[in-house]
Structure 1
Amino acid sequence: MGVGDDMENQTTTKHHRGIGSRGGDQDLLGPPPRPVVPLVYADFGDDALSPQWTSWLVPLFVVANVIVFFVVMFVNNCPKNSKSLGPDQHCVARFLGRFSFQQLRDNPLFGPSSLTLEKLGSLDWYRVVEKHQAWRLLTCIWLHAGVIHLATNMLSIVFIGTRLEQQFGFVRIGVIYLMSGIGGSILSSLFIRHSISVGASGALFGLLGSMLSELLTNWTIYSNKIAALLTLLFVILINMAIGILPHVDNFTHVGGFLTGFLLGFVLLARPQIKWLAKEHMPQDRRLTKYKPYQYILWLLSMALLVLGFVVALVLLFKGEDGNDHCHWCRYLRCIPTSKWSCDGV
C-alpha cells in the first residue's frame, strides 16, 4: 500500500500523516490501483499437483478483515465526529448512520478518517519507534482505508491464497501471510516516516512471492513450466510497476514480496522424485526425496530471512532512516514524471 490533506489539518498530532493504503492511493483523489491477479500456475501442472486440502484459513482471513473494517467504521462514527469539525463537514451515505463514510475530499476510498485508523493501529513510524508500539507492525495489516481498498485486496487474496492453501495446507500459508505482512510493515517503517499506512497488500505480495519461489524450487515436476514462469513474472512486474505511482506504499509491497519469496523456499518445497510402486523398485535402490539444490535453497533462504529481519528491526528501533543508507530506494515508491511530482512523498 489527500486522504487526508484536509483531514490532517484538523488533527492534533505532532506529525503530518496521510493515509497510506497499501496497494491503494493515499493522498490523491480516485480509486486505488487494482492489484493484478495472476493465473494460478498450478493449473499448468499435472494430476500430482491437484489440491489436497480444503481452504478455510484464507476465507477466514477475508472474513476477519471485513469484520475489522465494520468495527473501524463503527468507531469512526462520521455523523457524530463531523459535527465537531465544522458545518462544512458532510458524511457520504448518511443513511448508513454511524457507518457512513468520511467526505470524499478527506478519503476518496469510502472509509474512515486517518485519525480513526491511527487510533486503531495503523502503521506510523513515530508511534512504532518513539512510542514503542511495535504491535502496529501487525495490526496495520488488518486495517483498510476504505471499501475500495478492502475489496481489491480481499479479491486478490482469495484468488492467490485459496489455491496455495489447497496445495500446501493452512499452517504454511498462514505463516507466509502473517510473516510477509510484518516484513512489509518493517521495510515500510524504515523508509516512510511522515504518513500512516494500512492494508494487507504486504501479505498479498508475500503470497505472490511464495508462488514464484515454489515454482523455482519445484521446477522439475511442473509441465509447461516456462509458460507458468512467464505468466507469474508478468503479473509481478505489473504489480511492482503500480507501486511506483505517487502515494502508493511500494516499500510494503517489496518487503512482503521478499519475505514471501524466501519463505517459499523454506516451506513450499515438494519431493522431486515420485515414489514408485514398491514392487517396481529395485531392492538395492534408495530414492532421494528432495534434491540437493532444494536443501541449499532452504539453508540460504532461512539465513537471509533471519538476518534480514534482525538487521531491519535493529535499524528500525535505533531510529535509522533507510533513505540515508539507500539514496536510490526512494524511486521504489515514486518516480517523478511530467505528470506528477514526488515532492513530499
Structure 2
Amino acid sequence: MIHPAVDVETPAHPHPHPHAAAAAQSPVAHRETRRSKKWFTWLTPSFVVANVVMFIITMCVNDCPKHSASCVAGFLGRFSFQSLKENPLLGPSSSTLEKMGALDVSKVVDRHQGWRLITCIWLHAGVLHLLANMLGLVIIGIRLEQEFGFVRIGLLYLISGLGGSLLSALFIQSNISVGASGALFGLLGGMLSELITNWTMYANKVAALLTLVVIIVINLAVGILPHVDNFAHIGGFLSGFLLGFVFLIRPQFGWVSRKYVPRGSISTSTQHKFKIYQCILWIISLILLIVGFTVALVMLLRGVDANEHCSWCHYLSCVPTSRWSCNSQPVSCLSDQIGDQLTLTCSSNSKTRTYTLTNPTTAQIRGLCSQLC
C-alpha cells in the first residue's frame, strides 16, 4: 500500500507574535510533533501468530490419516492435508472446520451459536488461504497500526470481520465460511475513508486515491470466482469504510489544545479540532453503522434469506461462466455398506464409486462424498 506523505504547511501568519517563541518551548510543540511519531506495532503480529496457531490446532484436530482414506503429505502424520479433490487449498476437511467454529448459518440461527460470527475469522481453509490473508494483514495492518495505534486498528479489524460475517450469513446459507478476508477488507475500507476524511493533510491526493481504489476493485473482482465468499469481503469493506470515518479521524493541522497554551500568550493555532465535514462524516457513519448492524442481526436471528429480497445479489459473489459453475448447494451422497465394501452415489451428478473400508466413520464418508461430487 502507498501511504502518501503529509503536507508540511506554513503558518498562516508570517510574523508571529513575540510570545510565539515562548510557546514553541512549551508542551504545544510536543503536541504538534506527537502526531508524527509512529506507534509500536505488536497487535498485528499477534493477530498473525493467533491465526497460524489456530490453523495448527485445526490440522491437529483434523488428523487426516485417522479420518480419511487418502491424504496429502502423509509424512506429516496427523498434520497431513485432505486430498486435493476435497480441499485444493492444502487444509482440513469441512467437517473439522465446522467443529472448530466455522460460520454455519443453521447453527447460528437454530442453535443460537452466535459466537461463530467471530470464531470463523480466525480459521482458514488451507495453507494457501492462510498465507494469502496473513501477507495482506502484515502489509496493511502494520502500516495502519503505526499511524493510529493498536486500540483503533484492533477494533476496526474485529468489527469489520463481524460485519463481513453478518453479510455472508444473510446471503450464503448453504455452506460454511471461514477466513480473515472480511476483516482485511475492513482495513482496506478504513484506509480509503481515512484518506477522504483527512483529505487536506495529504500530498498527491488524487494519485493516492486512484491507487487505493484500483487495489480495492481488483480484490473485490477476485471475489466473483467460485468458492470465494465475496459477501464477507463486501460486508467487511463497507464496515471498515464507515468505521474509518469514526476511528481514523485526525485533528486538522495547527490545532493545539488550549490547556497547553501558556497564560498570557496569544494562540495563533486553529481554534477547532476538526473540520465541519469531518464531524458530519463522523455522525453519518456512526448512525449507519448502528442501524446497519442492528438490522443485519435482527434479520439473521429471524432466519431471513436475503437472496429472496434481492434476486441478482448472488452475482456479487460468483458469476457463472463456461469454465465454472456457481452451484453452491452442499454435497450429499447415498451410501451402501456391504461387508468392507462402501458404495457411494453422489446426489448431484449421480457418480458412483466403491471403496474398501471397514466400519467407516461419518467424517470419512463425508470426505469421500466431497471428493466424489
Equivalent residue for 2:72? 92
Equivalent residue for 2:42? 56
Letter of the structure 1 residue corresponding to residue 307 of structure 2: N
Equivalent residue for 1:324? 308
Query: Are 1:156 and 2:136 an aligned pair?
Result: yes
Q: Residue 194 of structure 2 is aligned with which of 214, 227, 233?
A: 214
**d(CA) in 1 for partners of 2:43, 2:167:** 26
Indicate if the aligned counterparts of 1:273 and 1:290 stay in contact, CA closer than 8 A.
Answer: no
Residues 40-71 of structure 1, C-alpha deviations (whole Å, 9 max, x = no match):
32x43357774520110000000000000000
Q: After the TM superposition, which residues 1-345 of structure 1 pair with which residues of structure 2 at under 5 Å, given as runs?
A: 39-41=1-3, 43-46=4-7, 50-82=36-68, 89-275=69-255, 282-283=266-267, 287-344=271-328
**d(CA) in 2 for partners of 1:109, 1:150:** 9
Structure 1 pair 304–298 and aligned structure 2 pair: CA distance change class (3 A): same
Shift of 1:273: 2.7
Match of 2:177, SS state, is strand
**d(CA) in 2 for partners of 1:235, 1:193:** 29
Match of 1:108, SS state, is coil
Indicate if the aligned counterparts of 2:175 and 2:328 stay in contact, CA closer than 8 A.
Answer: no
Indicate if the aligned counterparts of 1:40 and 1:163 stay in contact, CA closer than 8 A.
Answer: no
**d(CA) in 2 for partners of 1:286, 1:257:** 33
Shift of 1:272: 1.5
Residues 119-147 of structure 1, C-alpha deviations (whole Å, 9 max, x = no match):
11000111111111100000000000010
**d(CA) in 2 for partners of 1:151, 1:168:** 25
Letter of the structure 2 residue corresponding to residue 154 of structure 1: M
Letter of the structure 1 residue corresponding to residue 273 of structure 2: K
Indicate if the aligned counterparts of 1:273 and 1:288 stay in contact, CA closer than 8 A.
Answer: no
Letter of the structure 2 residue corresponding to residue 317 of structure 1: L
User: TM-score, length-normalised on structure 1?
Assistant: 0.83
> Structure 1 vs Structure 2: percent identity of aligned residues?
63
Indicate if the aligned counterparts of 2:105 and 2:169 stay in contact, CA closer than 8 A.
Answer: yes
**d(CA) in 1 for partners of 2:133, 2:268:** 52
Structure 1 pair 102–72 and aligned structure 2 pair: CA distance change class (3 A): same
Greater RCO (Cα-Cα under 8 Å, separation 6 or more): 1
List structure 1 segments (4+ residues) > 4 angstroms apart after TM superposition: 46-51, 276-279, 281-286
Shift of 1:188: 0.3
Alignment length (residue pairs) = 299
Letter of the structure 1 residue corresponding to residue 176 of structure 2: I
Equivalent residue for 2:353? none
Indicate if the aligned counterparts of 1:183 and 1:259 stay in contact, CA closer than 8 A.
Answer: yes
Letter of the structure 1 residue corresponding to residue 322 of structure 2: S
Shift of 1:176: 0.5
Residues 98-125 of structure 1, C-alpha deviations (whole Å, 9 max, x = no match):
1111111111111111110001100011
RMSD (Å), alpha carbons:
1.9
Indicate if the aligned counterparts of 2:254 and 2:269 stay in contact, CA closer than 8 A.
Answer: no
Shift of 1:95: 1.2
Rg larger in 1 or in 2?
2
